[in-house]
């Protein structure tokens, strides 16, 4: 371990007197409330983003690359001009970015379980769902931050949404809502699989086809019929359509309805499942 050389210079011995003092001074405070415990877990997740910002940006870098490649390489051919294509593409890229970083929820949970931190949390006298509630709270912040990165990039490149800030905000809210619902899927997977890497692989195996076999990049009209059939029931397509329309000042209540329905369904199935797997023995 490379850290060993550094740590020996810093390491000092345990001071028995200080330790004795530290042991005798404090009484047991009252138990934290549900909200307080959840916020503490959210704080924990936010600190980690601060220490390892990569979990936000290595997944964002990929969509940024896609935005640049698709806009400038294919934009002219696909939509007449790169600028016109960007108006179509950016809401889709936003959906792709945020849904892709949802896999980190499952990975983080799996890391906790495999590293043993969970044992400590589970042996504390706290409201048990607080761990998950805090995680979802932090995810909301994480997803919003990643979305803002993509939106700012879009505006710099020339994205001008007709719906204005209000339309963008509405789309953002819808994307974050769906992503939090989707996170429950990865969190239940994260509690079942053996390592963070397998969680990543499993999640990506599901997410990649979902993202590409959708209307994120192109209008599905020119796709073969069987593919269109899939694209049209794909929740990513509904989310992309709804966000695209909202950003450009239209309300596609059909697509929005589907997104809300998918979000509710995913939450209703996978949130209780996650809770059960979390409380289960391991």
Partner 1 sequence: MTLAIEAEGLTKTFGETRAVDGIDLAVKPGTVYGVLGPNGAGKTTTIRMLATLLLPNAGSARVLGHDIVAEADVVRGLVSLTGQFASVDEELTGRENLLLLGRLLGFSRGPAGERADELLEAFGLTDAAERLVSTYSGGMRRRLDIASSIVVTPDLLFLDEPTTGLDPRSRNQVWEIVRVLVAAGTTVLLTTQYLDEADQLADRIAIIDHGHIIAEGTSAELKASVGSGALHVRLHDAGARPEAERVLAVTLGVSVERDADPAALTARGATPDRIALGLAELVNAGLTVEEFALGQPSLDEVFLSLTGHPAEPQDDDDNEEDAA
Distances from the Cα of 58 to the Cα of 54, 62, 65, angstroms = 5, 7, 11
Note whether 47 binds partner 1 by CB under 8 A.
yes
Are residues 220 and 207 in contact, defined by beta-carbon separation less than 8 angstroms?
no
Give me the least distance between CB of 1 and partner 1, in Å please: 7
Note whether 22 binds partner 1 by CB under 8 A.
yes
The residue among 26 and 165 lying less far from partner 1, judged by its C-beta, is 26
For 176-202, letters b (16+ CB in 10 Å) and e give bbbbbbbbbbbbbbbbbbeebeebbeb
Note whether 156 binds partner 1 by CB under 8 A.
no
Note whether 107 binds partner 1 by CB under 8 A.
no
Give me the least distance between CB of 3 and partner 1, in Å please: 4
d(CA 45, CA 93): 25
Alpha helices (H) in 80-129, listed in sequence order = 82-101, 103-115, 117-122
Give me the least distance between CB of 160 and partner 1, in Å please: 39
Note whether 166 binds partner 1 by CB under 8 A.
no
The residue among 7 and 222 lying less far from partner 1, judged by its C-beta, is 7
The residue among 22 and 229 lying less far from partner 1, judged by its C-beta, is 22
d(CA 190, CA 113): 9
Are residues 215 and 231 in contact, defined by beta-carbon separation less than 8 angstroms?
yes
Note whether 44 binds partner 1 by CB under 8 A.
yes
Count residues contacting partner 1 (CB under 8 A)?
Answer: 51
Q: Taking the CA of residue 24 as centre, how many other CA atoms within 13 Å lie in the half-sphere pointing to its CB?
A: 6
Note whether 165 binds partner 1 by CB under 8 A.
no
Give me the least distance between CB of 166 and partner 1, in Å please: 36
Which residues of the chain form contacts with partner 1 (CB under 8 A)? 1, 3-4, 6-8, 10-16, 18-26, 28-32, 36-37, 40, 43-44, 47-48, 51-52, 112, 115-126, 281-282
């Amino acid at each position: 371990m490379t850290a060993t050389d550094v740590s020996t210079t810093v390491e000092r011995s345990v001071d028995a007197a200080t330790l004795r003092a530290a042991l005798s001074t404090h009484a047991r405070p009252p138990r934290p409330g549900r909200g307080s415990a959840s916020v503490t877990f959210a704080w924990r997740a936010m600190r980690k983003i601060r220490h390892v910002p990569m979990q936000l940006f290595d997944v964002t870098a990929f969509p940024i690359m896609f935005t640049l490649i698709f806009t400038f390489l294919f934009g002219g051919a696909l939509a007449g001009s790169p600028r016109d294509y960007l108006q179509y593409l950016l809401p889709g890229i936003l959906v792709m970015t945020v849904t892709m970083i949802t896999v980190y929820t499952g990975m983080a949970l799996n890391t906790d379980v495999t590293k043993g931190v969970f044992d400590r949390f589970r042996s504390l006298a706290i409201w048990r769902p607080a761990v998950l509630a805090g995680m979802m709270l932090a995810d909301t912040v994480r997803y919003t931050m990643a979305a803002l990165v993509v939106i700012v990039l879009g505006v710099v490149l020339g994205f001008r949404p007709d719906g204005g800030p209000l339309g963008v905000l509405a789309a953002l809210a819808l994307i974050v809502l769906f992503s939090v619902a989707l996170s429950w899927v990865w969190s239940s997977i994260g509690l079942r699989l053996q390592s963070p890497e397998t969680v990543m692989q499993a999640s990506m195996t599901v997410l990649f086809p979902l993202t590409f076999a959708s209307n994120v990049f192109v209008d599905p009209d020119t796709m073969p019929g069987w593919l269109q059939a899939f694209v049209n029931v794909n929740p990513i397509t509904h989310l992309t359509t709804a966000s695209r329309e909202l950003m450009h000042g239209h309300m596609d209540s059909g697509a929005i309805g589907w997104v809300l329905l998918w979000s509710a369904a995913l939450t209703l199935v996978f949130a209780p499942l996650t809770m059960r797997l979390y409380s289960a023995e391991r």
